[in-house]
Amino acid sequence: MAPEYSTPPNIAIVLLAAGASSRMRGQDKLLRQINDQALILRATSAALASHAAQVVVVLGKNAHLRRAEIAPLGVKIVENKAWSDGMGRSIAHGVRALDSLALGVVIALADMPDIRAQDYDRLIAAFKNHGPEKIIRAMTQDSQPGHPVLFGRRYFGSLAQLSTDTGAREVLRQNAGKVINVALDGGRARTDLDTPDDWDKYQAPA
């Protein structure tokens, strides 16, 4: 039986913003703008507007430029010097930076432009309803698994040991029976901007 929380449980968000934008032909995707706002600023602002108790942004490649975009928000920033080792290392870095009160953590990607505060809140509400043993994974309205993903505290040890470019995929695989999928509106759980073509399609007039 899931524990009852009178208020939203103490959930943190780790926002991964350390990657090299290797498919962007020399551009930094997190510094490109949507409606006059850098993508990293857009993603960080959405996380901060949610019911999460703490937000940690993990930087790596181009850390000084990305930091300059989000520093005015006062968000906690950690730098992964080994960012080139892959996403797993950044997840571990972020999880180890959480305060001791966190009951769960949402692992989120900074290159997903359509994730909103209410999407984080939907995952947090599902965690509240289903309990800390479950893993809450966002999916699209047509049931394709995506991001973000919320892990309860019991998974922190595994997340903090990650070191490869597969991210948290192995933790999900090992605990497949614990995963609860939560639909977000449209395809936002899988919309990311990895290439110039992705950007052109996303910013094309409707």
Q: What angle do CA 148, 80, 166 make, to 5 degrees?
A: 45
pLDDT tens digits for 21-50?
878 777 999 999 999 999 999 999 999 999
Q: Is domain 11-203 classified as CATH 1.10.540.10?
A: no
Q: What is the mean pLDDT of residues 41-64?
A: 98
So where are the chain's domains? 11-203
Q: What is the mean pLDDT of residues 163-186?
A: 94
pLDDT at site 23: 80
Would the pLDDT of 6 be above 70? Answer: no
pLDDT at site 22: 76
pLDDT at site 10: 96
Q: Which amino acid is at 139?
A: M
